[in-house]
Structure formats: structure tokens, C-alpha cells
Amino acid sequence: MKIYEFRRAPNPRRVQMFLVEKNIDIEYVQVNVRNGENRESEYLAINPKSGVPALQLDNGNVISESMAICRYFDAIQPEPFIFGNSPEERGLVEMWNRKIEIEGMNPVGECLRNSSDAFKDKAVPDPRVTKQIPELAERGKMLGNRFLGDIDKKLSESKYVTGENFSMADINLYVFLDFASWIKVIPNDEHQNLLKWKELVSKRESAKVFES
Ligand SMILES: N[C@@H](CCC(=O)N[C@@H](CS)C(=O)NCC(=O)O)C(=O)O
């Protein structure tokens, strides 16, 4: 079993952090998305959509999508509980995972992919040509900043995103913050709750994946 990934890319980071929290060791194979290796036939045979990460099982089957990969390992080894323990907690983790992805990560991705030369004709993770739309970059940055305010407000109510327990939502938020800094969407003095939370999460062993 192995995971195809690109170490410093945000979606692989989500899986890396999750696996450290779970204490699961796995073989990683690097696919250099910067030089387009993920759009070459060898990798497209593994994931036809070209995105990383992708998990290849020992029987050859492939699971792509970061959250699906995490869910696969969670089903094999439920503890420690990262997707919540009680039904309520599970619902909240799912809710915040989706909000962080839809309201945070996607706009930041849209900003980057619609403004950077590196993504010319590659505005979505798909091997087919997709033209950039500069207005989406502008809107993505605005929405990224808006999300900083929203999540700061949420964190004024609880220690972690969904309550008193660390969860996948915290991993997603931590990765979002790093990704957002690429487009200069960065918490400031108005985001004290978020800054305090970031300090807390940065002390976890799993946050060290950002050093690799
Ligand atoms: N929805 C997918 C997104 C995968 C994705 O977009 N991965 C990025 C890296 S963070 C990628 O492969 N980009 C390379 C490209 O678009 O060429 C997931 O959650 O894993």
C-alpha cells in the first residue's frame, strides 16, 4: 500500500497530519506537481484526474480525495477518534470539514489557480485545459479573508474547532492557514482566537509535517 503525494502541497498535508495523529506509517511516493509529473501518463494511470494525494491499495485499487483516504484509514483503525466520537461530535466534525473546505480552501485554491502563471491553462486539477478567470482570483482572496473572520468568531466559543476535542476539522483548518498564507491571507491582530488556536495546534507532533 502506498500514497502518491507531493510533500508540500496542501491536500497531501491533510493526509500526512491525519496519519501522524493516528500513528500510522505508510510508504509515500513523491509526484512532482511543480514540473507536471502528475499530468504524465504514468500518474494518470493511477489517478486520471491528476490530483495528489492518491492511495494505492495492495490489490491495485486506488482511492483519491484526501478526506476519502483519511476515512479509509479511520475505518481500519478508529482510535484515536479524529472524526469525532459521539454522533453529535461526528456531525460537527463533518460540518466543519465541509465549511473549511468550501468556504476556506476552495476560494484560496481559486485565487492561486486563477492568478499564478504556474497554473496557466490548469485552473482546476484536471489534465484537460481549463483557462484562468482573473476575477475568480480576486473573489477567492476576498472570501479567504472573510473566512478568517468567521472562523475566529467560532474559535471564541471553544478550544478546538468543534469543541473540547482535537479533530479532523483542526487539521483542515491548520492546513488551510498555511495554504492561505501563499496568497497573503494571514490572520492579524483582529483574529486573536485564531492565533491562540494556531499556537496550540502548532505544538502537536502532527504539525511537524510542515518541517518536511
Ligand atoms: N479534492 C482533491 C484535490 C486534489 C488536488 O487538487 N491536489 C493538488 C495538490 S494540493 C494537485 O494535485 N494539484 C496539481 C495540479 O493541479 O496539477 C483532494 O481533496 O485530495
Q: Is 140 in the pocket of ligand 1 (CB under 6 A)?
A: no
CA of 187 to the centre of ligand 1 (A): 24
Q: What is the DSSP letter of 130?
A: B
85 φ, ψ to 5°? Answer: -110, -60
Is residue 11 lining ligand 1, measured as CB closer than 6 Å? yes
Q: Check residue 115 and give its pLDDT.
A: 97
d(CA 118, CA 27): 28
Judged by DSSP in three states, 22 sits in helix
Measured distance CA(137)–CA(131) in Å, rounded = 12
**What confidence tier does 16 reach under pLDDT thresholds 50, 70, 90?**
very high
136-180: per-residue pLDDT in tens?
999 999 999 999 999 999 999 999 999 999 999 999 999 999 999
> What domains does the chain contain, in order, with CATH numbers?
2-76 (3.40.30.10), 87-211 (1.20.1050.10)
Ligand 1 atom closest to the CA of 113, numbered from 1: 16
How many angstroms separate the alpha carbon of residue 100 from the centre of ligand 1? 16
**CB under 8 Å to 157, separation ≥6 — which residues?**
none
pLDDT attached to residue 35: 93
pLDDT tens for residues 36-91?
Answer: 999 999 999 999 999 999 999 999 999 999 999 999 999 999 999 999 999 999 99
- In short, whether 47's Cβ falls inside 6 Å of ligand 1 is no
Out of 3, 4, 11, 15, mutate this one to test ligand 1's pocket (max ligand atoms within 8 Å of CB): namely 11
- Closest residue by Cα to residue 154 from 103, 203, 105: 103
Predicted pLDDT at 183: 97
pLDDT at residue number 198? 98
- Cβ neighbors of 97 (< 8 A, separation 6 or more) are 67, 168, 169, 172
In this structure, are residues 152 and 142 in contact, taking their beta carbons and an 8 Å threshold? no
33 CB less than 6 Å from ligand 1? Answer: yes
Question: Using a 6 Å cutoff on CB, does residue 84 contact ligand 1?
Answer: no
pLDDT of the residue at 3: 98
Read off the pTM: 0.97
Atom of ligand 1 nearest to the CA of 36: 17
